[in-house]
Structure 1
Amino acid sequence: MSLTREDFFCGAFLSYLLNNRIVPAIFEERIDPNRKIYDFTTNKGDFRVYVKSSEKPVNESSQKNGCRWNFPFTENQIDELKSVKSEGRQMYFAFVCGKTALNKSKIAIIPESIIFKYIDIDRNNKYKGQSIKIKLVKGHWDFDVYGTARSDKVDGLDNTLKVRVKNIDELFGQEQTA
């Protein structure tokens, strides 16, 4: 089996889990090795995570105050999303936001309910591109998320969803005891 660039970015997500003491008790066998969908269980529950990556931000050199990544979904991926069911699992999307300096890369974890508001999964025009965009403004604690079905601004006002940069620990990590 040959490795793809996507495999390395999926590895970043899995490595983050393991290096931060989020040790899944079970990783289930993937039905299709070409899909970047992982099923695993931690003490917080059963999860299904769909991993997508972007190697570098759009216009990295000109974005001095932050970075923006684009995550396009192909026609086949949109159709696949319609068929992927969470099957009693909590479903999330992990967007690996790559940087030229790999150690500066980030991972945005977003629940499926939000993603399906930002891409038009039941699109009438099958040829209209679908994508999720993630922006990280320098000095901010949250990613700004928007997509094809929801723009980043409405009447000049911010219309993005805010997602905590370090939310992996609270979503998948061990329960905190008082």
Structure 2
Amino acid sequence: MLDAAGLSGLTLVSLDDVPPFEEAPETGATFEENALAKARDGYAATGLPTVADDSGIAVDALNGMPGVLSARWAGVHGEDTANNDLLLAQLRDVPDERRTAAFVSACALVYGPGHADHAVVRGEWPGVLAREPRGEGGFGYDPLFVPEGGTRSAAQLSAAEKDAASHRGRALALLIPALRALAR
């Protein structure tokens, strides 16, 4: 994304490039709160400007849930099959026209120790939830999520197709101006 935006003057490092550090538990009520907390933890541990994300799926018929609880919706963090099975069971009697949802990603950039030294953006990828899983790619709720206007689930899209349309890609695109200002 940095290359596509023509950004220079920044060196991208990953968590593998810095010493391990402890992250606080995700206790925020919003994706934005959790992303900002993660980015603050990264900045505090490394002294480097840090980008962090919190993401999940918001289902309209469930008043935006699973939301920030997406990864642990069925009770155990990262149990994709159990999470999908529970979501399908909760939506069993919901008619197709009310199965709307959006993948949501909040990305936070923390570039200093002060409370004003950050930027937080939100990207959403609207769609509907299928009645059964489709496809083998991706992770999480990808097999259930059919992007708006599409016929294939996110798990059936190529990595390039998904990156071009996803909630995370949309959020990162919104973060480019803050990254550009940081690069100056």
Structure with the larger strand share:
1
Same fold (TM over 0.5): no
TM-score (structure 1 length as normaliser): 0.33
TM-score computed with the length of structure 2 as normaliser: 0.32
The structure whose residues are more often helix, as a share, is 2
